[in-house]
Amino acid sequence: MKRIVTVLLAFLGTLGMASASDIVRDSIIVVMGDKSRIIIYGENKEELKKLLNYDVNRLLKDVGGKIDSTSQEGTTRVILGEVDGDKYRKRGRGTITIQDRQITIEANGDTTYQIKRVKRTRPWWQNDQDNFVISFGLNAYGKKEDLNYNAQDYDLRPLGSRFFSLGFYRNPTLIRGEDVALRMRLGFEFTWYNFMFEGNNVARKGAERIEFTEATEPLKKSKLTVCYVTVPVMPTIAIRKGVISHIGAGGYVGYRLDSYTKTKTQNNKKDHNHAGYWLNDFRYGLMAEIGFRNSVDLFFQYDLNELYQEARGPKVQAVSFGVRLN
């Protein structure tokens, strides 16, 4: 409820002066010099105590510009009348609390304002522009024919020939629209091709070509591992809504860093041998990928060149497929 403060400024002239007996009991008289008084009326003492909550200095500044003068019975009185006191109420000091992502402002102990700090988000087409990617999959032969080798000597175990890679990608946006955007995947990755052979054969580097000879004791596994550093270049269409997040197709080129064979006997005896095994140092091919929103991506890679050097090994090309996590 609004409280009304009644202010009466009395400037006493030379003809007379208001006395204290003219003032009602519950009032405040402020003497200002010999001829000026400020008289403040209240219904009771409790109401007068509430004056402590008001800015009287501000009130007097406003009154100074609105005074109308009248003369009554030789005494000059200036009466302003009723003034809305709420605008002159003193404002208590508030408190500001910052916690987590919310700012709380409390004023006068009873009014609270809450401002939530919203995390700034990037436009949708800028999401996933920098990726660290882990890929898992399987290897197979895309082409297998050579009259100089028995195909059974280098056949692969389907689930034992695994593909693994660690990739670091940039996906800058080239063209963007309201719901689709064209990106270009650039970066590099380290890939490991594991070719696990069927049977009891072991890959060995011969004088002029790779040889697949039978081991002298039963083996649990025998494999050839090749490690490459690969640079992919793949245009990708990013999709804003729906189950599919992106579709891409492009190519890659890689350089062989290392290659070795690993065998494990039935007695768990292991053996590693590092050599070139007449493998091609470079590889290149085609790749495709489809991504699912908030899930894994599926990839497919097909080497266009052969795994081994010309006339140094079987005429086979590597194929890899699997899932990517980013």
Kind and range of the H or E element at 60? helix 56-64
Query: What's the rounded mean pLDDT across residues 302-306?
Result: 95
Kind and range of the H or E element at 313? none
Does this model's pTM top 0.85? My answer is: no
The whole-number pLDDT of residue 222 equals 94
Over residues 49-105, the pLDDT tens digits come to 676 667 677 766 766 655 554 445 545 455 555 566 666 666 655 666 666 556 666
What is the distance between the alpha carbons of residues 145 and 128, in angstroms, rounded to a whole number?
42
Mean pLDDT, the chain, rounded, equals 79
Specify the higher pLDDT residue, 5 or 143.
Answer: 143
Encoded tokens for 131? 């990726």
Query: What single-letter DSSP state applies at residue 120?
Result: P
In Å, how far are 18, 47, 70 from 22, measured between CA atoms? 7, 20, 18
Kind and range of the H or E element at 76? strand 75-84
Strand partners, 282: 255
What is the distance between the alpha carbons of residues 226 and 238, in angstroms, rounded to a whole number?
32
Question: Percentage of the chain with pLDDT > 90?
Answer: 43
What is the distance between the alpha carbons of residues 75 and 249, in angstroms, rounded to a whole number?
100
Query: What's the rounded mean pLDDT across residues 167-190?
Result: 90
Residue with the two structure tokens 């000597």: 153
Enumerate the domain spans of the chain.
4-88, 91-120, 124-325
